[in-house]
């Protein structure tokens, strides 16, 4: 069942999503060589709490930290750690989800750490364009499958693979709601979009194989071949005419 948010609920989605976006803006200057992912986790945690919200990942199905930090070949769900200290040439995805006034807002960004190789910079750039191409498909009457179709097409055109084992999701009173938003597929398939639906689009794009493995910690998802992976995520509202990016940051306007 895909929930349709009322105008009051949409206002609450706007507020929580805005805080999630602001958290990514806040953390950016700290993402530098020498900082640990645990320090970044603590800064995000304190920022979210200070703004009257709760970090949705913390204790979610036992996840031990407040944000996910996914470094280089980690695709998603990386666990912040004192042992993971950023160095020149890394890429780090920070995935922030806030719970404010009973609603979740979910967004992530892949940061470049110092001087990143041209090959990896291009991966990050194409991944952002994949997310935006997916977002541009959002409109009433469109199909959820249209989103994955354009993402897959762009990623493959650039010679990359698309992760299929993890996907976008409806979001609202629950962190993960219907529908599933897969990042591959065929136009005209899946549920039809209606005004008031809110869901994420969060493609994970790999330099090498699309196949994943999960560490023994039960969370950390990495590429099977050890090649780099990038991701971007926004929470999207279907409007009467198209879409609104609820987690948009100033740098994107």
Left (φ > 0), alpha (ψ -120 to 50) or beta: where does 6 sit? beta
By beta-carbon proximity to ligand MF3, the closer residue of 51 and 121 is 51
From the list 41-49, 80-88, 158-166, 230-238, the region that binds Co ion by CB under 5 A is: 230-238
Does residue number 128 form part of the binding site for ligand MF3 (CB under 6 A)? no
DSSP, res 11: H
Does residue number 75 form part of the binding site for ligand MF3 (CB under 6 A)? no
User: To which residue do tokens 């009322």 refer?
Assistant: 6
Distance of CA 47 to the CA centre of its chain: 19
Query: Could you tell me whether strands 54-55 and 229-231 are parallel, antiparallel, or unpaired per DSSP bridges?
Result: unpaired
Centre a 10 Å sphere on the Cβ of residue 249 and count the other Cβ atoms it contains: 17
Which residue number places its CB atom closest to ligand MF3? 57
Centre a 10 Å sphere on the Cβ of residue 128 and count the other Cβ atoms it contains: 17
From ligand MF3, Co ion, none, interface partner of 77 (C-beta below 5 to 8 A by class): ligand MF3
CB of 238 to Co ion, least distance (A): 16
Site string for Co ion, 172-211 (x = CB under 5 A): ----------------------------x-----------
Residues with Cβ within 8 Å of residue 123, at least 6 apart in sequence: 160, 205, 207, 228, 230
From ligand MF3, Co ion, none, interface partner of 60 (C-beta below 5 to 8 A by class): ligand MF3
From the list 58-66, 80-88, 153-161, 204-212, the region that binds ligand MF3 by CB under 6 A is: 58-66
By beta-carbon proximity to ligand MF3, the closer residue of 57 and 196 is 57
CB of 175 to ligand MF3, least distance (A): 7
From the list 151-159, 191-199, 211-219, 228-236, the region that binds Co ion by CB under 5 A is: 228-236
CB of 163 to ligand MF3, least distance (A): 12
The encoded tokens of residue 61 equal 């199905």
Does residue number 57 form part of the binding site for ligand MF3 (CB under 6 A)? yes
Helix axes 144-157, 118-135, angle to 10 degrees: 160
DSSP, res 72: T
Total interface residues for ligand MF3 by CB under 6 A: 12
R_g (Cα) of the chain, nearest Å = 17
Q: DSSP string of 140-194? A: TT-BHHHHHHHHHHHHHHTT-EE--SS-EEE-SSSSSEEEEE-SS--TT-SPBP-
CA–CA gap between residue 208 and residue 85 (Å, rounded): 24
From Co ion, ligand MF3, none, interface partner of 198 (C-beta below 5 to 8 A by class): none
213-252 binders of ligand MF3 (CB under 6 A): 233
**Binding-site ranges for ligand MF3 (CB under 6 A):** 57, 60-61, 63, 68, 77, 95, 97, 106, 200, 202, 233
**Binding-site ranges for Co ion (CB under 5 A):** 95, 106, 108, 200, 233
């Amino acid at each position: 069942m895909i929930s349709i948010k009322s105008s009051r609920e949409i206002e609450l989605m706007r507020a929580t999503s805005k805080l999630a976006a602001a958290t990514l803006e806040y953390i950016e200057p700290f993402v530098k060589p020498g900082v640990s992912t645990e320090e970044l986790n603590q800064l995000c945690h304190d920022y979210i709490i200070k703004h009257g919200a709760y970090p949705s990942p913390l204790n979610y199905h036992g996840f031990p930290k407040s944000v996910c930090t996914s470094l280089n070949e980690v695709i998603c769900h990386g666990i912040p750690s004192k042992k993971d200290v950023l160095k020149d040439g890394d890429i780090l995805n920070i995935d922030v989800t806030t719970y404010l006034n009973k609603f979740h807002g979910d967004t992530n960004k892949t940061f470049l750490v110092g001087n990143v190789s041209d090959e990896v910079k291009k991966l990050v750039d194409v991944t952002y364009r994949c997310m935006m191409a997916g977002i541009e498909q959002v409109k009433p009457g469109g199909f959820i499958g249209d989103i994955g179709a354009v993402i897959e097409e762009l990623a493959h055109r650039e010679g990359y693979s698309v992760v299929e084992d993890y996907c976008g999701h409806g979001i609202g009173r629950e962190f993960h709601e219907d529908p599933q938003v897969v990042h591959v597929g065929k136009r005209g398939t899946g549920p039809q979009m209606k005004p008031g639906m809110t869901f994420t689009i969060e493609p994970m794009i790999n330099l090498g194989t699309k196949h994943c493995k999960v560490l023994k910690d039960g969370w950390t998802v990495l590429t099977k071949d050890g090649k780099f992976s990038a991701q971007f995520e926004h929470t999207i509202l279907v409007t009467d005419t198209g879409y609104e990016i609820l987690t948009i940051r100033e740098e994107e306007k």
